[in-house]
């Protein structure tokens, strides 16, 4: 039984995601394709590390040409990437990238799985990756994916033999897949999983190689291919009016937050897979060679296929409903087979086909997009048969109702039935939020206590309507998640998932407040009602030696969805200190401390996330000289806002504003991350920037990538960028020049300033420079030589040219005080003689 529930959950996912925006309504070609797929019992699991690693050409080919059940196992959700389409980073970015994978799978026909592994950022070596991930946990999850999905064939995106030569997450994904191949079939390993599923031995394991792994097309042509098979993935699908590579391009273009929107491709294209282990291919050019992928592989399957194969052969595109009697017979026989795995999968497939053939419209829509546990909502159910088949609506059941609502209605063709129901949401219904974020995990893995949730792309929906029908005297039930269907005059009909929310949530807009002195700051707390008539009060939790007043404020909101804003005053302590402030909303029935975050983009379904409502507060012990900063934006960072928080006057400089005259007003100019990669005009403006330094200004250049620079003259003297990086954010820092003014004025930088850094120390450090430069710091990842290019400075004329690969752009938004103190020194360089001492600490 537990196994059945597990499979059931997995299938619900495929179903729900298709319905999150708009329920999929199959046309005749799509029904035919679904019937072709119904007759194939083969499966492929594709394994890699991140959203966007997957080769959608191969996934689409397996799903649409081979008609195999195909899944992509992405070990992580991609939290560590950057976001090109909005402000979400880290776990919120992971939610967007999860949804982008699901959007890609809706196009290429695959399914989606994950593990608990967290994308903690770039990793140089699988040893490091597996240590941070906790190898045993992630290996267990790969075994779990294999045991539950039961693939015939596994295909790795990456080569398990490339330790240290590429991203550690990539190599690790292949290494774990290699190891799990046998472990999945060993009942003595991870045997607690066997309470929910059974062991499984995949037949073969491949590596999806290409010329890219050989360095060049030429090398690949010369390579020994005796262990490889290849096939043309450029096939054309007349049913879709698209070729496989066009489908694949559309799918991978869903990875918009990573900038993957791209042109589609057509035409013949070879794909290569290298055999790694399992049953030998014996010269066959088919990954499924010798594997029975027909109904014959299950006991009792032959009789079912005798009914289903003729439907495929003689499919009636004009009237698919003519196949209903046979489909229902096959469905009934399927209920008697012993193989629970295929019974669950194929029952759902055949039910979807039956629904489509009968033109059955089944929907339960709420009158609002959200509700709180215990509240009552109005539901509108719609039931409609658009075929000549004899269909009875016996009853329907709603989550939370103890008894089915009996109907006994004959559904005459094209006669619509609507029913209104008032539903009380059960008190114990969980709030809608990603299951993997409900408890705090580690740097390397999410915490998921419920084994059956592990690997699912989303949290299962909480509320359903089940329609109990009898078609041709065969009882059959269709379960649909409750949705919210509405319209907007300028958009038309829209769907949203129906969500369960707390009665009240609160938020503070800024996630970090920097106090550069002991002045108090007013902060706004927004309280939002999840139901009508919210009455209570708000108080703040805050660190010792800080204070917040007033102690509490009344909140009273009449209507669900409305907000009330309260202002609290935060008073920092006299000395350096940091901690968190968090609003607590006290109502009669409890204390609510969560923030409701909404993620709304066109290419993915609307998402709501509940996270603890909190902001970091940092009292800095900081002095600074100079006040006017010019900022040249690069690829995008929040450094200007962070500098404003500590009292600088920051002016954003457009390329055309970089003129000798205009630069005179500034004490320092800072270039944003990768400015010399993305701002083409800098090749003409660099002479003015250097002129500004010559006259006594400070130019601070943040990291650029060594490849794709708009000019080679980004520095006054020879300075060569490399790919040197220090990814361990706790890596020890050696101060090379303890007496150097940049490390002493106006703030004395010590080891404590390098504590609490996040994600990494820095990246793309220079590795060669002329004698004019002084390197100030040295650091390295475990097992590597020391890297001295993270912060170098050279005198040029009367001013200073400073190049830094240190990740200030990551540390500032995390409120890392040492990063602020060090950066302030860079801005203050050479300004010892400024009289207006702006030292503001005690």
With residue 726 as reference, give the H or E element that holds it. strand 719-726
| Contact region with Zn ion (CB under 5 A), list: 44-52, 265-273, 371-379, 687-695 | 44-52
| Contact region with Zn ion (CB under 5 A), list: 52-60, 172-180, 724-732, 820-828 | 52-60
Phi-psi region of 424 (alpha: psi -120 to 50; beta: other; left: phi over 0): beta
Count of residues near Zn ion by CB under 5 A:
2
Instruction: In angstroms, give the least distance from the CB of 678 to Zn ion.
Output: 22
Rounded to whole angstroms, how far apart are CA atoms 128 and 120? 11
293 close to 152: Cβ distance less than 8 angstroms: yes
CA Rg value for the chain: 30
Rounded to whole angstroms, how far apart are CA atoms 169 and 730? 19
Nearer to Zn ion, 166 or 368 (CB): 166
Q: Tokens 């006299």 correspond to what residue?
A: 574
Instruction: In angstroms, give the least distance from the CB of 163 to Zn ion.
Output: 16
Instruction: In angstroms, give the least distance from the CB of 53 to Zn ion.
Output: 4
Nearer to Zn ion, 38 or 248 (CB): 248
Instruction: List 580's β-bridge partners, or say none.
Output: 616
Instruction: In angstroms, give the least distance from the CB of 101 to Zn ion.
Output: 12
Nearer to Zn ion, 71 or 174 (CB): 174
Instruction: In angstroms, give the least distance from the CB of 760 to Zn ion.
Output: 16
Nearest by Cα to 141 from 95, 78, 183, 169: 183
Instruction: In angstroms, give the least distance from the CB of 544 to Zn ion.
Output: 43
| Residue 226 burial class via C-beta count within 10 angstroms: exposed 0-12, middle 13-18, buried 19 and up | exposed
Instruction: In angstroms, give the least distance from the CB of 49 to Zn ion.
Output: 5
Instruction: In angstroms, give the least distance from the CB of 76 to Zn ion.
Output: 8
Instruction: In angstroms, give the least distance from the CB of 74 to Zn ion.
Output: 9
Nearer to Zn ion, 123 or 375 (CB): 123
Instruction: In angstroms, give the least distance from the CB of 102 to Zn ion.
Output: 18
Nearer to Zn ion, 78 or 457 (CB): 78
Annotate each residue in 184-223 with x if it binds Zn ion (CB under 5 A) or - if it does not, as one string: ----------------------------------------
Instruction: In angstroms, give the least distance from the CB of 258 to Zn ion.
Output: 10
Nearer to Zn ion, 50 or 57 (CB): 50
Nearer to Zn ion, 50 or 685 (CB): 50
Nearer to Zn ion, 53 or 246 (CB): 53
679 close to 710: Cβ distance less than 8 angstroms: yes
Instruction: In angstroms, give the least distance from the CB of 71 to Zn ion.
Output: 18
Nearest by Cα to 802 from 786, 817, 788, 823: 823
809 close to 702: Cβ distance less than 8 angstroms: yes
Strands (E), 736-779: 762-769, 773-775, 777-779
Residue 54 is encoded by which pair of tokens? 């997957």
147 touches Zn ion by CB under 5 A: no
| Contact region with Zn ion (CB under 5 A), list: 43-51, 152-160, 234-242, 324-332 | 43-51
Q: Tokens 């609290």 correspond to what residue?
A: 568
Residue 15 is encoded by which pair of tokens? 């179903």
324-334 and 301-313 helices, crossing angle to 10°: 160
Nearer to Zn ion, 50 or 137 (CB): 50
Would you list the DSSP string of 581-606? EEEEEEETTEEE-EEEEEE--TTS--
| Contact region with Zn ion (CB under 5 A), list: 15-23, 49-57, 363-371, 383-391 | 49-57
Nearer to Zn ion, 50 or 66 (CB): 50
Instruction: In angstroms, give the least distance from the CB of 133 to Zn ion.
Output: 14
| Contact region with Zn ion (CB under 5 A), list: 51-59, 244-252, 486-494, 680-688 | 51-59
Question: Using CB under 5 A, which residues numbered 56 to 85 contact Zn ion?
Answer: none
Instruction: In angstroms, give the least distance from the CB of 256 to Zn ion.
Output: 16
- Please pick, from the candidates 46, 53, 468, 674, the single residue that binds Zn ion as defined by CB under 5 A: 53
Instruction: In angstroms, give the least distance from the CB of 173 to Zn ion.
Output: 9
- Please pick, from the candidates 50, 69, 323, 625, the single residue that binds Zn ion as defined by CB under 5 A: 50
Nearer to Zn ion, 53 or 274 (CB): 53
| Contact region with Zn ion (CB under 5 A), list: 50-58, 668-676, 696-704, 779-787 | 50-58
Strands (E), 1-134: 43-48, 69-74, 111-114
CB atoms within 10 A of CB 695: 13
Nearest by Cα to 497 from 365, 375, 399, 373: 365
| Contact region with Zn ion (CB under 5 A), list: 45-53, 122-130, 639-647, 795-803 | 45-53
Nearer to Zn ion, 53 or 91 (CB): 53
Nearer to Zn ion, 78 or 572 (CB): 78
Question: Using CB under 5 A, which residues numbered 532 to 551 contact Zn ion?
Answer: none
Nearer to Zn ion, 53 or 637 (CB): 53
Q: 63 — phi, psi (to 5°)?
A: -75, -40
Nearest by Cα to 638 from 799, 813, 515, 482: 813
Rounded to whole angstroms, how far apart are CA atoms 581 and 554? 18
Annotate each residue in 594-633 with x if it binds Zn ion (CB under 5 A) or - if it does not, as one string: ----------------------------------------
Q: 514 — phi, psi (to 5°)?
A: -100, 125
| Contact region with Zn ion (CB under 5 A), list: 42-50, 84-92, 612-620, 767-775 | 42-50
Instruction: List 117's β-bridge partners, or say none.
Output: 445
Annotate each residue in 664-703 with x if it binds Zn ion (CB under 5 A) or - if it does not, as one string: ----------------------------------------
Question: Using CB under 5 A, which residues numbered 408 to 467 contact Zn ion?
Answer: none
> Could you give the C-alpha distances from 519 to 569, 721, 757, 797, 822, in angstroms and in order?
10, 42, 26, 38, 22
Annotate each residue in 506-525 with x if it binds Zn ion (CB under 5 A) or - if it does not, as one string: --------------------
DSSP letter assigned to residue 436? G
| Contact region with Zn ion (CB under 5 A), list: 47-55, 394-402, 451-459, 754-762 | 47-55
Q: Tokens 């002045």 correspond to what residue?
A: 519
Nearer to Zn ion, 48 or 71 (CB): 48
Nearest by Cα to 32 from 292, 384, 308: 308
Nearer to Zn ion, 158 or 773 (CB): 158
Nearer to Zn ion, 258 or 344 (CB): 258
Whether cis (ω within 30° of 0) applies to the bond prior to 489 is no
Q: What is the pairing mode between strands 521-529 and 504-508?
A: antiparallel
| Contact region with Zn ion (CB under 5 A), list: 46-54, 623-631, 699-707, 716-724 | 46-54
Three-state secondary structure call for residue 619: strand
Rounded to whole angstroms, how far apart are CA atoms 51 and 237? 26
Nearer to Zn ion, 97 or 351 (CB): 97
Position closest to Zn ion via CB: 50
> For the CA atoms of 405, 409, 414, 419, what is the dihedral angle to 10 degrees?
-30
Question: Using CB under 5 A, which residues numbered 120 to 139 contact Zn ion?
Answer: none
Residue 308 is encoded by which pair of tokens? 């289903």
Nearest by Cα to 619 from 511, 756, 518: 518
Nearest by Cα to 628 from 659, 658, 663: 663
344 close to 335: Cβ distance less than 8 angstroms: no
Please report, as ranges, the residues that interact with Zn ion according to CB under 5 A.
Answer: 50, 53
């Amino acid at each position: 039984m537990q196994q059945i529930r597990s499979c059931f959950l997995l299938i619900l996912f495929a179903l729900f995601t298709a319905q999150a925006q708009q329920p999929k309504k199959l046309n005749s070609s799509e029904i035919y394709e679904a019937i072709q797929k119904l007759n194939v019992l083969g499966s492929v699991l594709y394994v890699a590390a991140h959203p966007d690693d997957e080769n959608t050409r191969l996934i689409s080919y397996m799903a649409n040409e081979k008609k195999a059940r195909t899944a992509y196992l992405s070990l992580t959700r991609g939290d560590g990437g950057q976001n090109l389409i909005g402000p979400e980073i880290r776990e919120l970015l992971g939610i967007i990238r999860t949804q982008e994978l699901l959007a890609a799978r809706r196009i290429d026909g695959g399914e989606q799985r994950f593990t608990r592994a967290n994308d903690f950022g770039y990793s140089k070596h699988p040893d490091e990756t597996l240590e941070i991930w906790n190898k045993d946990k992630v290996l267990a999850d790969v075994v779990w994916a294999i045991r539950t999905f039961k693939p015939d064939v596994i295909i790795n995106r990456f080569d398990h033999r490339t330790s240290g030569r590429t991203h550690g997450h990539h190599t690790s994904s292949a290494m774990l897949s290699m190891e799990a191949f046998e472990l999945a079939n060993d009942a003595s390993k991870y045997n607690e999983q066997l309470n929910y599923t059974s062991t499984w031995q995949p037949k073969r394991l491949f590596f999806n190689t290409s010329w890219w792994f050989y360095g060049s097309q030429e090398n690949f042509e010369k390579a020994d291919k005796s262990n490889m098979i290849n096939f043309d993935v450029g096939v054309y699908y007349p049913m879709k009016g698209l070729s496989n590579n066009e489908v694949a391009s559309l799918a991978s273009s869903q990875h918009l937050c990573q900038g993957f929107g791209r042109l589609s491709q057509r035409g013949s294209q070879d794909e290569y897979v290298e055999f790694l282990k399992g049953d030998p291919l014996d010269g066959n050019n088919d990954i499924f060679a010798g594997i029975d992928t027909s109904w014959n592989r299950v006991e009792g399957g032959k009789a079912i296929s005798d009914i289903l194969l003729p439907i495929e052969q003689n499919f009636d595109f004009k009237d698919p409903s003519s196949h209903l009697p046979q489909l229902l017979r096959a469905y009934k026989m399927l209920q008697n087979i012993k193989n629970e795995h295929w019974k669950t999968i194929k029952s759902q497939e055949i039910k979807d086909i039956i629904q489509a053939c009968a033109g059955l419209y089944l929907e339960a829509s709420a009158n609002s997009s959200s509700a709180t546990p215990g509240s009552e909502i109005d539901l509108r159910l719609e039931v409609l048969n658009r075929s000549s088949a004899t269909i009875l609506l016996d009853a329907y059941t709603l989550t939370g109702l103890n008894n089915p609502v009996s109907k006994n209605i004959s559904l005459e063709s094209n006669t619509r039935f609507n029913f209104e129901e008032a539903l009380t949401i059960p008190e114990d219904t969980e709030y809608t939020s990603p299951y993997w974020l409900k408890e705090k995990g580690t740097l390397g893995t999410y915490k998921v206590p419920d084994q059956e949730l592990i690997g699912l792309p989303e949290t299962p929906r909480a509320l359903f309507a089940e329609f109990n029908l009898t078609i041709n005297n065969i009882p059959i039930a269709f379960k649909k998640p409750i949705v919210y269907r509405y319209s907007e005059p300028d958009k038309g009909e829209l769907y949203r998932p129906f969500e369960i929310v707390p009665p009240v949530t609160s938020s503070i807009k800024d996630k970090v407040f920097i106090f550069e002195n002991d002045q108090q700051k007013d902060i706004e707390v927004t309280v939002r009602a999840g139901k009508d008539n919210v009455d209570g009060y708000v108080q703040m939790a805050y660190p010792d030696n800080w204070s917040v007043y007033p102690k509490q404020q009344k909140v009273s909101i009449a209507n669900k969805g409305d907000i009330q804003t309260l202002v609290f005053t935060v008073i920092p302590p006299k000395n350096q200190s940091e901690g968190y402030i968090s609003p607590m909303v006290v109502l009669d029935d409890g204390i609510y401390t969560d923030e409701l975050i909404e993620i709304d983009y066109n290419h993915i379904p609307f998402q709501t996330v509940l996270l603890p409502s909190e902001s970091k507060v940092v009292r800095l012990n900081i002095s600074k000289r100079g006040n006017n900063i010019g900022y040249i934006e690069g690829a995008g960072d929040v450094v200007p806002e962070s500098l404003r928080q500590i009292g600088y006057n920051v002016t954003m400089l457009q390329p055309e504003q970089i003129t000798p005259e205009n630069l005179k007003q500034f004490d320092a100019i800072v270039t944003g991350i990768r400015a010399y990669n993305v701002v083409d005009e800098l090749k003409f403006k660099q002479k003015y920037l250097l002129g500004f330094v010559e006259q006594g200004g400070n130019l601070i250049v943040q990291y650029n990538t060594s490849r794709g620079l708009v000019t080679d003259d980004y520095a006054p003297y020879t300075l060569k960028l490399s790919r040197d990086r220090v990814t361990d954010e706790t890596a020890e820092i050696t101060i090379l020049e303890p007496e150097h003014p940049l490390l002493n004025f106006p703030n004395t930088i010590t080891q404590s300033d390098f504590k609490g850094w996040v994600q990494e120390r820095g990246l793309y450090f220079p590795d060669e420079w002329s004698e004019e430069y002084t390197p100030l710091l040295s650091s390295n990842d475990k097992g590597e030589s020391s890297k001295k290019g993270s912060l170098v400075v050279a005198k040029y004329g009367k001013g200073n040219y400073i190049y830094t690969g240190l990740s200030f752009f990551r540390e500032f938004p995390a409120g890392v005080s040492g990063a602020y103190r060090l950066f302030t020194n860079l801005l203050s360089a050479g300004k010892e003689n400024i009289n207006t001492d702006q030292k503001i600490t005690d």
